[in-house]
Amino acid sequence: MRILAAAFLCAVAGVGLAQQPQQPDPCDRKTRVVGDVTYCDRYWECVSGIPQLYDCPNGLVFVGRNRGIAEGCDYPWRGAYCDGKQLANPPISSEHCDWLYGIFGHETSCTRYWTCWNGTATEQFCIGGLLYNEETHACDWPQNVVGCQKHPLCKDDPNANVPLGKSCERYWACQGGYPRLQRCPATLVFDKQSRRCVHPPTADCEVPTTTPPPEGELGGFQGDDNRNFNAPRPQRRRPLPPARDNPLPDEGRFAPDNSLPFRADNRPIGPLQPQGGNIRPPPIPGALPFNN
């Protein structure tokens, strides 16, 4: 048995030697770091004159010193880093995270996704009517995201304007079933009856007042516009007491959990980049430096 095992090891080693390109020595490099020639999720670093082998954080691949999101490692889909190489490590999965580090689609929603840092998932939202694109791992225009559900907001009429809560200025403009966050031009308010921007007052919105409304009456919006302004600007229009809103029912082909976040800034953004400190695991023990 032992002989068999030894023979097997020799065979594997022989194949390895025959096929692998020579591993460069990180101690010959100015950066003191070099990627492993076999595994794209490993790299060698010269530590006190001795080459040491390291794993990238699980889910990341080596891209070069001082590059990537952590320890010279980055998301594999950002480049062809694994072409002709293998992964040394299998995925370590946790709830919502296929790997400990990465950006992953949401189980039930096209407007949400997960960023994972050391296996801890943080829910993120695509805003302004964008949807999470699993191919680019970023928020994208709906027409670029195949197979995603349209939004319940636009269920009754795929091309209608839909009021946004109690807001007098903002509304959703449905385009082909996908909502985009819009704002009425200055001095106009959104009229829920005609579903257009009109001159106030309307049934729900008064003419602008001279006193600023108290905080937090914008119905779910995070105040974005309160910075960067020194010059006088039009007062927010005070909503009247709320009428009973009938929430749109979710059914059919729409995802049940697909509500849009009410964010006041509607610029397209990519996924947030997780940030963290030193996450490098210890060197892989017993890794043989190169036989040169």
Ligand X SMILES: *[C@@H]1O[C@H](CO)[C@@H](O)[C@H](O)[C@H]1NC(C)=O
Chain residues binding ligand X by CB under 6 A are 118-119, 279
Residue least distant from ligand X (Cβ): 118
Burial class (CB in 10 A: 0-12, 13-18, 19+), 162: buried
Which of 128, 130, 90, 92 is CA-nearest to residue 113? Answer: 130
**Phi, psi torsion values for 76, nearest 5 degrees:** -65, -25
What is the smallest separation between the CB atom of 237 and ligand X, expressed in angstroms?
Answer: 48
What is the smallest separation between the CB atom of 25 and ligand X, expressed in angstroms?
Answer: 28
> Which residue reads 């980055």 in tokens?
74
**Non-local CB neighbours of 12 within 8 Å, separated by 6+ positions:** none
Q: Which is nearer to ligand X, 118 or 266 (CB)?
A: 118
What is the smallest separation between the CB atom of 152 and ligand X, expressed in angstroms?
Answer: 36
C-beta of residue 105 within 8 angstroms of C-beta of residue 121: no
CA trace torsion 82, 85, 88, 94 (10° rounding): 30
What is the smallest separation between the CB atom of 40 and ligand X, expressed in angstroms?
Answer: 21
Which of 262, 284, 278, 271 is CA-nearest to residue 128? Answer: 262
What is the smallest separation between the CB atom of 79 and ligand X, expressed in angstroms?
Answer: 24
Q: Which is nearer to ligand X, 79 or 281 (CB)?
A: 281
